[in-house]
Amino acid sequence: MTAKIEKVSVIVSKGSLEGIYPALIMANGARAEGIEANLFFTFFGLDAVHKAKHEHIKLATVGNPGLHLATWAGGLPGMSAVMTHYLARRMDELDIPPIPEFVELIADTGAGLYACQASVDLFGLSKEDFVDQVRDIITVGEFYDLAAGGQIIFT
């Protein structure tokens, strides 16, 4: 035990279930280890903190070879909903919180949650569209200032 990570900034750029959970687990795990953590939500990653959308995050069943489903089957109506439901049940059994609860937990650990200015402009959103845990809407430059002196993880 020589080197120790003191600070991480995790960028969340994807809006799928498998895109969001790893980032949340990394940030929460960092705080559990006493590591300072920030989360920066950009592009479709914003859905994780979007009031109207964060309860409806779905697993990608198309273009996801890891599922080992035939491509045409992944595109069947309702497939994404069924697979998401199945995963949600497994997660519940393992006591992995749903995304809204997880975001709240991470904010309670003292991690900073920020939305990306460019993406907010692009999608025509404002601070009111996000859960209260989002501290601010910041530019990429401000993100680098926040991330200074730590590790940056892009997901």
Partner 1 sequence: MPTKLYAGTEVTVTDEGFFTDPGQWNEDMAPEIAREAGIGDLSARHWQVIEFMRTEFAEKGSGPTVRALGKTSGVSVKELYQLFPKGPAKLAARIAGIPKPRGCI
User: What residues line the site for partner 1 (CB under 8 A)?
Assistant: 1, 25, 28-29, 31-34, 95-97, 105, 108-110
> CB 135 → partner 1: shortest distance, Å?
15
Please identify, using beta-carbon distances, which residue of 31 and 58 lies nearer to partner 1: 31
> CB 70 → partner 1: shortest distance, Å?
32
Please identify, using beta-carbon distances, which residue of 70 and 94 lies nearer to partner 1: 94
φ, ψ dihedrals at 45, nearest 5°: -60, -25
> CB 17 → partner 1: shortest distance, Å?
15
> 59: which 2 tokens?
């697993």
φ, ψ dihedrals at 124, nearest 5°: 65, 40
Determine which helix (DSSP H) or strand (DSSP E) holds 137, and give its type and residue range: strand 134-138
CB 112 within 8 A of CB 39: yes
The whole-angstrom separation of Cα 83 and Cα 133 is 28
The whole-angstrom separation of Cα 109 and Cα 44 is 24
Please identify, using beta-carbon distances, which residue of 24 and 137 lies nearer to partner 1: 24
Q: State the residue for tokens 């993100």.
A: 143
> CB 22 → partner 1: shortest distance, Å?
11
Please identify, using beta-carbon distances, which residue of 69 and 105 lies nearer to partner 1: 105
